[in-house]
Structure 1
Amino acid sequence: MLAVRLGLVAVWLGSWELAARTVIDPFFYSMPSEVWDKLVTWFTDGTSMGSIWENMGVTLEEAVLGFITGVLGGVVLGVLLGRSRFLADVVAPFIKGANAIPRIVLASLFVIWFGLGISSKVATAFVLVFFAVFFNAFQGAREVDKVLVDNARILGAGRWQLLRSIVLPSATSWILASMHVAFGFALIGAVVGEFTGADRGMGLLIRQSQGNFDTPGIYAGMLIITALALVAEWLITRLEKRLTSWRPPSSSEAAGI
């Protein structure tokens, strides 16, 4: 499996390099060798905005803070509204209206409200993560087996016991499924916020590369962000396996599909 993946990457990069040297204009499309040279320069000599590690750290910090706060907010509000039909009916138009606002507009507002520092980027990441997690947590809380809830109530379980012992475990799969895409959204939020206005970060490096018509710099920034997202996905997958280790394997997992 790994060999096939590496082979596909090698074919793709080789085709791109060959096309850039013979058919397409490398000024606009760059080539893998130039992107590699840009990455080597950034990691050895630094960037025009300082150390590449510092810029990566800033973007990662913004994304992690936005991810954590967005997940917490989405889970709490999603489960709360999922278990209260009255509250859900009252708040639903406001949630849908807020979700319809273009994120780039919110990023611009956050820069005005919170300045060029980390707060505006965390706010943008929070918004993107919150809605991704909220709708899954909401649906997961709605999908809890009613018979199971009724039986627990007959046995004397209170509201908090139901929430802790039945609702949250039942909604865990929905919440964890949303977290796989939520960290990618957090990175997007951080980069969009930096693109809108910042003094450090990968988004600022990409924006500067765009302004200088530095195509290899744009690709290099994209690769670094992609690598961060893949590492986060691996960590979330490990977390999911630990949190769901109590569940019996599904039929597809048992069959090795």
Structure 2
Amino acid sequence: MRATVLDPRNRALVQAVRLALLLGGVFLWWLLTALDLIPVFFFGDPVGVARQLATWFASGTVFTHLSVTLIETLLAFGIGTALGLGIGLWLALNPFLAEVFDPFIKAFNSMPRLIFAPIFALWFGLGIWSKVALGVTLVFFVVFFNVFQGVREVSPVVLANTRMLGAGPRQLLRHVYLPSATSWVFSSLHNAVGIAFVGSVVGEYLGSERGVGYLILLAEGVFDINAVIAGILLLTVFALLLDIAVSFLENHLLRWRPTAGQTVAASA
């Protein structure tokens, strides 16, 4: 089956449809609350949410909280990715050790890791490192399993031919294993961005004096649904921005891959 390639001329139409869906959803939300078809107390209203965001940014208080959450997220994302990449490669290239550690890894991965948040708060205090530790445990396994599988998916024929050409372990790692794992890594990183935010916000819920999660917790305490939604939207926007940054890096590092258009043209 041939892939369906979107005509570049239709990209503007795609963006227009996306914008229309977004604005239509916001308008429907406002209309339902304005007509009292849904209670504002439980669902908020877009005007109140926009007013809350404007108040946060005008006062400047949100920047301190946002910077804390972003630092926690970036640290958890970076450390978890590095550990997942390194340990995933190490075990994938060592079948004996992979077999030894397999039950331990599966057991730890099966644990609901959010329950470790109070333990990390006890170990690392209520600062950023308890949130980073929680985020690392969430990001690590997403990256680890993708890297491990990516290395294991390398074709034996490619490995045999590369060895016949005289490639040593370093050449195999650089020219065969890493390129094979890279696409798997980036597919996991898109998920890891959101998961890193989850770790940071959950940690802030359980004990913190700063962060967007802390703002949301305060708003929930006084039943301010508009502030809760405003905090969620704020986190969503910055998660999307980080995802765009990952996509940019992916396109740069994987520019050697043929595009969908080139693939279809070659198969035509």
TM superposition score category, shorter chain reference: over 0.9
1:190 aligns with 2:204: no
1:79 aligns with 2:89: yes
1:239 aligns with 2:239: no
The equivalent of 1:112 in structure 2 is 122
The equivalent of 1:56 in structure 2 is 66
**52, 57, 60: which one pairs with 1:43?**
57
Q: Counterpart of 2:220 in 1: which secondary structure?
A: helix
> Post-superposition shift, 1:170?
1.2
Q: Distance in 2 between matches of 1:198 and 1:23?
A: 37
* Amino acid of the structure 1 residue aligned with 2:47: S
Q: Deviations over 1:157-214 (max 9, x none)?
A: 2222211221001111101110111111111111111111112101111111111111
1:70 aligns with 2:83: no
1:14 aligns with 2:24: no
Q: 1:92 to 1:252 in 2, by over 3 A?
A: farther
> Post-superposition shift, 1:95?
0.8
Q: Distance in 2 between matches of 1:105 and 1:160?
A: 40
Q: Counterpart of 2:257 in 1: which secondary structure?
A: coil
Say which is worse superposed, 80-89 or 182-191, in terms of deviation: 80-89
Runs of 4+ in 1 over 4 A off after TM superposition: 250-255
Q: Counterpart of 1:124 in 2: which secondary structure?
A: helix
> Post-superposition shift, 1:253?
6.1
Q: 1:16 to 1:253 in 2, by over 3 A?
A: farther
Q: Deviations over 1:46-86 (max 9, x none)?
A: 4xxxx211111110000001111111110111111122221
The equivalent of 2:47 in structure 1 is 33
> Post-superposition shift, 1:128?
1.0
Give the unaligned 5+ runs of structure 2: 1-13
Q: Counterpart of 2:208 in 1: which secondary structure?
A: coil
> Post-superposition shift, 1:133?
0.4
Q: Deviations over 1:19-58 (max 9, x none)?
A: 1122121111111011011101111024xxxx21111111
What is the TM-score with the length of structure 2 in the denominator?
Answer: 0.90
Aligned residue pairs total 251
The equivalent of 2:3 in structure 1 is none
1:97 aligns with 2:111: no
Q: What is the aligned-residue RMSD (CA, Å)?
A: 1.4
The equivalent of 2:213 in structure 1 is 203
Give the unaligned 5+ runs of structure 1: none
Q: Distance in 1 between matches of 2:264 and 2:235?
A: 34
Q: Distance in 1 between matches of 2:68 and 2:20?
A: 34
> Post-superposition shift, 1:156?
2.8
> Post-superposition shift, 1:250?
4.2
Q: 1:225 to 1:253 in 2, by over 3 A?
A: farther
The equivalent of 2:170 in structure 1 is 160
The equivalent of 1:212 in structure 2 is 222
> Post-superposition shift, 1:251?
6.1
